[in-house]
Each structure stands twice: as structure tokens, then as C-alpha cells.
Amino acid sequence: MINENLIPKIGVVTNVRKDTADVKTFRVVGTDGKKLFEHMPGQCAMVSIPGVGECMFSITSSPTNEEYMEFSIKKCGCVTEVIHGIEEGQQITVRGPYGHAFPVEGEDFKGKDILFIAGGIGLAPLRSVINYIRHYRSNYGKVVVVYGARSKDDLVDIEEIRNEWENEPNFEVYLTIDRPQDGWDGHVGFVPAYVKELGLDPTMTAVLCGPPIMIKFTLQGLLELGFSKTRVYTTLELRMKCGIGKCGRCNVGDKFVCKDGPVFRMDQLDELPNEY
């Protein structure tokens, strides 16, 4: 039997949005104008430019979006540089979905208050989860989003945050940038310190994504506030390679991120060598 997620599907880029100087969001549909395939929040897909290469990216649109898929991609290498040159109407190939999703239908999420903490492009994988929860709002409790970046110009999806998330009932959004900047009257400071400053409820389920150094110090702060590692989730999507764990380059200890992740609880990561 053929595994459908191994077969690349031809996608058409219908919209390109420039979020920051080095991040663009690409909206993709199939050649029939429909969504390429179904996924769950936190899963990834392999995006390929024929003749150039392919890379694994989080699917940043929510599964509840039935019309298209979106990928927020940071320019940081040869393939992503070519991707950033893509124009509307151009064809690419996409295969997936890959990896385990965030357990949004599980007991740690449903009926619970959820805390999202992100830094920089780390908001992209969490956007899918946040908008999934917004769609099924009555199934979840209060949502708190703490998001930071180097500058106000590096905040991804800021229009959606300002126009939609901040106006959502029982939603709290806290934004911060690393250093003072003209035109910014919000909080200034690093995300880990801001999380401790906010004194958040430790009974919440926490979801983290961002630079490794941010995750390290944010986790320390959460533990000091009384959070349990069994209720703190993150994604190691940057460690994903082939998508199915066959090439072996995604291994961390005895785990293969493509097959066993990319979503892990923090207590699960404690069982692995510090290689992530």
C-alpha cells in the first residue's frame, strides 16, 4: 500500500505576504484550487523547489482552514533564499504531513487554560495551534500568548495578533521586544524575564517555541513559578530531516524527531541527551 504522505503534491502559491525583513508567509493550494491535504496543529510538510532542494517547515495555518495551507518561512540558507523569490502563481511541490501533532484533543489541552510562549519565528508553529483553539473556542479555557522578538519589525503575524487575537474573548496577549525602539510603547525585555514578571498561573498547560536559549531560560522561569514539566510542550521541528526517520539524521539519543516528534513534553526531553 502506498503511503500518500511520501508522494509530493503539486502546489500553487496564491499569495505571498512579507511579515518581516527575512520572513515571508506563502499561501498554497493544489492545482485544483483546493487544500493539498489534511493535518493537525504542530505537524510539518516538506516543501520542494524542483532543481533546487527541499526543506521541512511547520504548517502554520490551522487545520480548520479548509481552503489553503500556509507556511511562514525565514530566509536563512540557500533553499529558503530561493523560496523567498517565489511569486504568486508559481508551482512548488509539497508532501506530508509529518510528525506528531500537539495533543489539542487530549486532557492537557481540552478544557484547560493554555499559555503560549514564542520568540521570533517560533510563533509560526504555534499559530496553527492558537487558531485551532480559536475555532473550537468553547472546548478550551483562557488563552495567554507571550510573544517577543528582537525588534518591533521582527514580530511575525503582527496584524493578525493586533486585529484578531487581541480582540478574542478570554484571550490575553503580551508582546515584548529586546531593546527600546522608536515607535514602540509596549514592554521591553527578554521573553524569559517577562514570563516571570507576569507571574502566570502554574496550573496552565504551557507551549513553547523559539530559539533554544529562550526555551532554556523560559523553562527555568516556569519551573520557578510552579509549572510542571509534564504540562509543558515544545516542538523540535528544526531537527526534522526526511520526515519519516529513515535517514537517521534527526536522532536525539534513541529518539527520531521525524518519527517520535517533533512535539515533546519537557519531561520527555529530560530523558534524552542534551543535543537538541
Residue 1: is its pLDDT beyond 60?
no
Q: C-alpha angle with apex 78: 70 to 216, nearest 5 degrees?
A: 70
Q: What percentage of the chain reaches a pLDDT higher than 70?
A: 99
> What mean pLDDT do residues 12-20 have?
97
223 neighbors 229 (Cβ within 8 angstroms): yes
- Which residue, 191, 76, 196, 29, is CA-closest to 126? 191
Q: Which domains does the chain have, with CATH numbers?
A: 4-98 (2.40.30.10), 114-235 (3.40.50.80)
What is the total residue count of the chain?
Answer: 276
Q: Tell the residue number behind the cell numbers 527575512, with chain if given.
A: 22
Q: How wide is the angle at C-alpha 229 spanned by C-alphas 256 and 211, nearest 5°? A: 60
**pLDDT tens digits, residue range 54-98?**
999 999 999 999 999 999 999 998 999 999 999 999 999 999 999
pLDDT tens-digit series, residues 158-188: 999 999 999 999 999 999 999 999 999 999 9
Instruction: Tell the residue number behind the cell numbers 517577562, with chain if given.
Output: 194
pLDDT tens digit string along 101-157?
999 999 999 999 999 999 999 999 999 999 999 999 999 999 999 999 999 999 999
pLDDT score, position 270 = 86
Q: Is the pLDDT of residue 253 over 90?
A: no
Q: What is the pLDDT of residue 275?
A: 62
Is the pLDDT assigned to residue 40 strictly greater than 90? yes
pTM of the predicted model as reported, rounded to 2 decimal places: 0.94
In this model, does residue 195 exceed pLDDT 80? yes
Q: pLDDT tens for residues 219-248? A: 999 999 999 999 999 998 877 778 777 787
How much is the pLDDT for 47?
96
Element (H or E) spanning 216, and its range? helix 212-225
* CB-based burial, 82-97: b 16+ in 10 Å, e otherwise: ebbebeeeeebbbbbb
- Which stretches of 105-226 are assigned E, i.e. beta strand? 114-119, 143-149, 171-177, 187-188, 205-209
Return mean pLDDT, the chain: 93
Confidence at residue 192, expressed as pLDDT on a 0 to 100 scale: 96
Q: First vs last Cα of the chain: how many Å apart?
A: 34
Confidence of residue 254 (pLDDT cuts 50, 70, 90): confident
- Max CA pair span of the chain: 59
Rounded average pLDDT over 34-47 = 96
> At residue 7, does pLDDT exceed 70?
yes
